[in-house]
């Protein structure tokens, strides 16, 4: 269901791009905007992992420097049939984590020191399983594609300002103004909806990877509560990276509405609890060693 919804949303984004391009720039303007946006996001796709890890001053760790964390990730990667990703730690008191990398062979997972201090090994396994689910689902590629189309729509809107729109626009200059304002906003809404859908999908797959939905549910509850009172200064300065984290690191709107990149945490926890009930689990279990 989540994959179907993502496909429908991406189709809607593509349809919006084609419609805006036809009305504002014609075929030529549409192609120019797409090529420029594709080039910009292709660069980001190949280099975003290095850029974001450097931005957050993440340090790579191994079994010697962080045996518990690396051991958990190694076990989960085996469970998920994934190559072992690079593992990083970020010196930040806000509990949070993210995954990055253009494909499973070039993936990295990062956890903050605040996360490592506050979670049990089982809860940490739930969080890392969620991040590996993003890797397995290739969500980095999905979000790069949507960013490319959203960027192209914004460029087309700018083209409309300079060129006055194409002859295909029946509303004339007023139509150009309306499209310039509404089209980028609509693209951003679809982009956020896709991000929220991928979070739900990663929650479910992450629970399957670690075998315990309630581990992740407990972790999300702790992270959300702690993150609300602790600033992540780097994220606040670079809000475009907020969608990468397991919990929104920004102190903004927490509602599960149109303008958020993350689902409401309570909704995620409820879904995980329902999943646990379906699996016959009523309490978190420690069936295997973690770290």
Residue 285 included in any domain: no
98: part of which helix (H) or strand (E)? strand 97-100
Compute φ and ψ for 227, nearest 5 degrees. -65, -25
* pLDDT attached to residue 10: 72
Pair 279, 216: CB distance under 8 Å: no
Nearest to 153 by CA among 42, 46, 15: 15
Q: Is 177 exposed, middle or buried, given 0-12, 13-18 or 19+ CB atoms closer than 10 A? A: middle
Residue 223, domain member (yes or no) = yes
Residue 244 in domain: yes
Does the structure show a pLDDT above 70 at 197? yes
Residue 171 predicted with pLDDT over 60: no
**Is residue 174 a part of any domain in this protein?**
no
Q: Please identify which of the residues 105, 122, 123, 131 carries the catalytic annotation.
A: 131
Residue 227 lies in a domain: yes
Whether residue 73 lies inside any domain: the answer is yes
Residue 111 belongs to some domain of the structure: yes
**Residue 39 CB contacts under 8 Å (≥ 6 apart), including other chains:** none
Query: Is residue 270 flagged as an active site residue?
Result: no
Provide the domain limits for residue 268. 33-144+184-278
Confidence of residue 110 (pLDDT cuts 50, 70, 90): very high
- How far apart are the C-alpha atoms of 207 and 130, rounded to whole Å? 7
164 vs 81: which has the higher pLDDT: 81
Burial class (CB in 10 A: 0-12, 13-18, 19+), 246: buried
Q: What is the pLDDT of residues 72-109, one digit of tens each?
A: 999 999 999 999 999 999 999 999 999 998 889 999 99
Count of domains observed in the chain: 1
Residue 7 is encoded by which pair of tokens? 């496909």
pLDDT in the model for residue 240 = 73
Answer with the residue of higher pLDDT: 106 or 178: 106
Determine the pLDDT at residue 282. 72
> What gap in Å lies between CA 199 and CA 193, rounded to an integer?
10
Looking at the domain assignment, is residue 42 inside a domain?
Answer: yes
Average pLDDT over the chain reads 83
CATH of residue 114: 3.30.2010.10
Place of tokens 């969080």: 127
Model confidence, pTM: 0.79
Lowest mean pLDDT among 25-29, 85-89, 95-99, 205-209: 25-29
How far apart are alpha carbons 172 and 46 in whole angstroms?
A: 40
The DSSP bridge pattern shows strands 59-61 and 97-100 to be unpaired
Residue 140: per-residue pLDDT: 78
For position 167, what pLDDT does the model report? 56
Whether 179 has a pLDDT exceeding 90, the answer reads no
Q: Is 221 a residue whose pLDDT tops 80?
A: yes
> Are the C-beta atoms of 109 and 49 separated by less than 8 Å?
no
259: pLDDT strictly greater than 60: no
* The pLDDT value given to residue 144: 66
Percentage of residues of the chain with pLDDT beyond 70: 80
The pLDDT score that the predictor gives to residue 251 is 76
- The model's confidence at residue 286, banded by pLDDT at 50, 70 and 90, is low
The residue with greater pLDDT, 228 or 286, is 228
> Higher model confidence: residue 265 or residue 33?
265
Q: Is the pLDDT of residue 52 over 90?
A: no
Who has greater pLDDT, 146 or 221? 221
């Amino acid at each position: 269901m989540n994959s179907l919804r993502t496909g429908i949303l991406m189709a809607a984004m593509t349809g919006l791009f084609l419609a805006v391009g036809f009305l504002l720039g014609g075929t030529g303007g549409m192609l120019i905007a797409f090529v420029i946006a594709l080039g910009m996001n292709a660069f980001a796709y190949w280099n975003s992992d290095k850029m974001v890890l450097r931005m957050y001053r993440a340090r790579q760790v191994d079994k010697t420097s962080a045996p518990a964390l690396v051991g958990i990730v190694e076990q989960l990667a085996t469970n998920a049939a994934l190559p072992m990703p690079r593992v990083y730690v970020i010196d930040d008191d806000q509990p949070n984590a993210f995954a990055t990398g253009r494909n499973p062979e070039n993936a990295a997972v990062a956890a903050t020191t605040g996360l490592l201090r506050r979670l049990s090994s089982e809860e940490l396994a739930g969080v890392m399983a969620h991040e590996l689910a993003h890797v397995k689902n290739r969500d980095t590629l999905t979000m790069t594609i949507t960013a490319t189309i959203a960027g192209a729509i914004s460029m087309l809107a700018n083209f409309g300002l300079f060129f006055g729109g194409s002859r295909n626009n029946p509303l004339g200059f007023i139509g150009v103004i309306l499209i310039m304002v509404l089209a980028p906003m609509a693209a951003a809404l679809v982009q956020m909806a896709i991000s929220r859908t991928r979070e739900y999908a990663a929650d479910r797959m992450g629970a399957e990877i670690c075998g315990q939905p309630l581990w992740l549910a407990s972790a999300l509850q702790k992270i959300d509560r702690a993150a609300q009172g602790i600033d992540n200064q780097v994220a606040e300065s670079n809000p475009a990276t907020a969608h990468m984290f397991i919990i929104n690191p920004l102190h903004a709107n927490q509602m599960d509405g149109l303008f958020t990149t993350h689902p409401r945490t309570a909704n995620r926890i409820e879904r995980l609890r329902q999943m646990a009930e379906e699996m016959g689990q009523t309490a978190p279990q420690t069936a295997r060693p973690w770290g």
